[in-house]
């Protein structure tokens, strides 16, 4: 690197956003992620001893994945190569491999290859990494916001340790913001800034666990007032003006999407209408497809409410059709009605469990044949050719009997005593129970 390269790099660093400048350079500066970076944890031990193996860092935006990579880059004696999967390709991988081989041959030193957004690499690009990870040409550090077990080749996963990062807590983000306010070299310490702790807490809360987002808001707020007076006093109105709206931690294609949908369904199943509305709101504000939400409500109405309240399925299905017809924003009202109805309805999974048991039996045991008198006319005429009149038993038409019911066998002989549907004591299924006790399960 010549003098002009050094000058260009210095200018680039000075002009970089605050979030980039404030990336930690040491383990001591790294904030949060105590689950993987706490005292006695494996990852800091590997970093401190410079004995890192290939790892995948997986977590939401702003949780510290690239910051952690930067700490490793400063700490390790190995050559550190950084590429981004958004702009890189096979050619860049080959160049990194050649540099790593040359560095190892000339200096007997390893190379750490950091690939940001590694899930953006396609299968062929990920396969190109595999032999060099396997033979130790370089140590791979991959960072991804997507679940690596779905987005990264299983062969790479098996040769790496996966470390999951979580959203930062509000108090951790406040600590990062305070560090930026006093740091004169990389932060905002050169400005005479006055800001109350409660306003920093507000920024942290609105950032929803994303430190990058919080630092960007703080920087924008300060810059917008930097030339107005000797004392920069940051108010709540200043922050709201720069923030515009709260960032939503909802990714329609990622883990967060599935987590919120799961919480939504479990809240309806658990009869908590408040939680159901909350997670419904998160999906709506996050831009989720209303038809996707409606389908989840319809499924829950049958799976978890079932015959305890048969109207739940009717309402859920009507809501799905109405939302498809009306769309948003009014569709939120219809979805809210259906979700709260399902959440507060009596619950039964008897039908759901029953059909699962039937399918399990069909796949695993011999269930026998349909009783001949239940077969259609063509099959029944064939039965008569091979069955004597004394053995033939006529089908009894229920409507010819009192209460439109007559006891007769409907299941095959092999499973005639099986009970697949076990109605609960909840809601309408109490009525179903009473009916079955008077009919099917009444003593002879």
What's the whole-number mean pLDDT along residues 298-309?
93
CA distances from 181 to 10, 71, 130, 195, 338 (A): 21, 21, 43, 10, 48
- Residue 254: predicted pLDDT: 59
pLDDT exceeds cutoff 80 at 14 = no
The pLDDT > 70 percentage for the chain reads: 89
Give per-residue pLDDT as tens, 385-444: 555 554 567 788 888 888 888 888 888 888 888 888 888 888 888 888 888 888 877 776
Nearest C-alpha neighbor of 167 from the set 209, 208, 211, 201:
209
pLDDT computed for residue 40 by the predictor: 85
Q: What is the pLDDT of residue 76?
A: 82
State yes or no: pLDDT of 227 exceeds 70: no
What confidence tens digit (pLDDT) does each residue in 96-113 have? 888 888 888 888 888 888
Distances (CA, A) of 86 to 34, 122, 156, 253: 29, 11, 19, 17
Q: What pTM was computed for the model? A: 0.58
Given a cut of 70, whether residue 7 has pLDDT beyond it is no
pLDDT given for residue 200 in this prediction:
92
Average pLDDT over residues 196-202: 90
Q: Does residue 6 carry a pLDDT above 60?
A: no
Contacts 24+ apart (CB under 8 A), 148-154: 148/56, 148/58, 148/118, 148/119, 151/119, 152/56, 152/118, 152/119, 152/126, 153/123, 153/126, 153/127
- Range of lowest pLDDT (196-200, 222-226, 255-259, 277-281): 255-259
Instruction: Return the higher-pLDDT residue of 369 and 36.
Output: 36
pLDDT attached to residue 294: 94
Q: What is the pLDDT of residues 64-73, one digit of tens each?
A: 898 888 888 8
pLDDT band at 250 (very low <50, low <70, confident <90, very high): low
pLDDT at position 3 is: 46
Render pLDDT for 120-145 as a digit per residue (tens, 0 to 9): 888 888 888 888 888 888 888 999 98
């Amino acid at each position: 690197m010549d003098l002009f390269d050094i000058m260009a790099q210095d200018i680039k660093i000075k002009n970089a956003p605050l979030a980039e400048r404030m990336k930690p350079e040491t383990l001591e500066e790294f904030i949060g992620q105590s689950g993987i970076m706490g005292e006695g944890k494996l990852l800091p031990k590997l970093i401190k001893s410079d004995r890192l193996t290939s790892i995948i860092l997986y977590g939401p935006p702003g949780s510290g994945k690239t910051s952690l990579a930067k700490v490793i880059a400063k700490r390790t004696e190995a050559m550190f190569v950084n590429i981004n999967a958004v702009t890189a390709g096979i050619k860049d991988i080959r160049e990194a491999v050649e540099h790593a081989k040359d560095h190892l041959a000339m200096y007997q030193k390893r190379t750490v290859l950091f690939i940001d957004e590694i899930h953006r690499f396609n299968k062929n690009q990920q396969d190109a990494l595999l032999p060099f990870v396997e033979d130790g040409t370089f140590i791979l550090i991959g960072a991804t916001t997507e679940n690596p077990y779905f987005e990264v080749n299983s062969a790479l996963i098996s040769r790496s340790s996966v470390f999951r990062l979580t959203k930062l807590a509000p108090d951790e983000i406040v600590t990062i913001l305070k560090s930026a306010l006093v740091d004169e070299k990389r932060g905002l310490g050169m400005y005479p800034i006055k800001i109350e702790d409660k306003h920093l807490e507000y920024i942290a809360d609105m950032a929803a666990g994303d430190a990058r987002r919080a630092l960007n808001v703080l920087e924008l707020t300060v810059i917008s007032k930097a030339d107005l007076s000797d004392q920069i006093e940051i108010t709540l109105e200043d922050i709201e003006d720069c923030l515009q709206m709260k960032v939503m931690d909802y990714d329609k294609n990622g883990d967060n999407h599935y987590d919120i949908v799961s919480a939504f369904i479990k809240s309806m199943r658990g009869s908590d209408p408040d939680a159901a509305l909350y997670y419904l709101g998160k999906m709506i504000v996050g831009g989720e497809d209303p038809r996707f939400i409606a389908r989840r409500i319809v499924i829950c109405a049958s799976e978890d409410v079932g015959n305890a309240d048969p109207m739940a399925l009717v309402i859920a299905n009507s809501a799905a059709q109405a939302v498809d017809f009306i769309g948003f924003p009014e569709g939120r009202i219809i979805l809210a009605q259906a979700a709260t109805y399902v959440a507060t309805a009596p619950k039964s999974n008897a039908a759901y469990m029953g059909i699962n048991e039937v399918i399990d039996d069909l796949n695993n045991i011999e269930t026998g044949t349909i009783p001949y008198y239940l077969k259609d006319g063509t099959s029944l005429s064939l039965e008569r050719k091979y069955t004597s009149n004394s053995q033939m038993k006529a089908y009894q038409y229920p409507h010819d009997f009192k209460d439109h019911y007559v006891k007769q066998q409907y299941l095959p002989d092999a499973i005639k005593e099986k009970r697949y549907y076990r109605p609960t004591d909840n809601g309408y299924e109490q009525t179903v129970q009473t009916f079955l006790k008077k009919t099917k399960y009444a003593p002879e």
